[in-house]
Amino acid sequence: MSVKILAVGDICGEPGLDFLGKKLRDFRKEQGIDFVVVNGENANVVGITPRQADAIFRAGADVVTLGNHTWTRTELRPYLEERRKILRPANYGPQCPGRGIGVYHAPFGDVCVLNLLGRFTLDNNTDNPFVIADGYMAEIQEKIILVDFHAEGTSEKRAMGFMLDGKVSAVWGTHTHVQTSDACVLPNGTGYITDLGMTGPVQSVLGIDPEQSIGKFMGDPPRRYESAKGPVKLEGCLFEIDPETGKCLSAEALRLL
């Protein structure tokens, strides 16, 4: 019997957070979803607070992953140490609070989740995510292994997918907030999508008010990002996985409005 794993794209501001709270738990029940990973990187528009992380868990997430804005909110640092179910990228330095990989118990067996951060154009002082991921493969014992690769470059994400093909159950990309059309099962049995998309305002520029984003490109003085108004969507990918082998049987991009 297969299990269903849902990966949800970056939560964008309070609109995305509210929509997740309204939609996720019912959708999970209706679809018989067994495990949910949500990227909470932008729940505070930039970064995430402990309150917002708690709201994501209440909405029905089993694990929350992060990315390049992990350290934006300093109050998150002790929270990362206290809560095992929130992950920051594993290729940050070992002196950083929290963890980048975790094993979680589920009714169908244990699930290993790995969070990684890309280096192309993100200008972060991190270790090489490919070397880190490859090193973990020799250590992980669980059959079901899920990887959230928070990265800018589509080539970097595709390369990670193929490097881990046959070694993990699913690899998905986050960060760019635009859902890609390449959800698939790679040749050796790993589910893959280059980017999940986002959970936030539909009529926006990556969740941000369009006029503000246009102003930035026109040269306006910097100011705090503001979430766009109006209808909201939830985007992600649903993976069906064989718990005995860890192989992915299907991968389907989804969008809830």
Active site residue ranges:
69
Q: Which residue, among 3, 37, 253, 18, has the nearest Cα to 146 in the 3D structure?
A: 37
> φ, ψ for residue 80 (rounded to 5)?
-60, -30
Residue 90 neighbours by CB under 8 Å, 6+ apart: 99, 100, 101, 114, 115, 116, 132, 136
Give counts: helices (H), strands (E), the chain.
6, 14
Confirm if 168 and 192 have CB atoms less than 8 A apart.
Answer: no
Tokens of 55: 């709201």
Q: Which residue, among 46, 94, 53, has the nearest Cα to 71 in the 3D structure?
A: 46
- By three-state DSSP, how is residue 60 classified? coil
Radius of gyration of the chain (CA): 17
Helices (H), 48-200: 50-59, 76-82, 129-137, 154-164
Tokens of 113: 């989740």
Confirm if 57 and 8 have CB atoms less than 8 A apart.
Answer: no
Tokens of 21: 């709270």
Confirm if 154 and 118 have CB atoms less than 8 A apart.
Answer: no
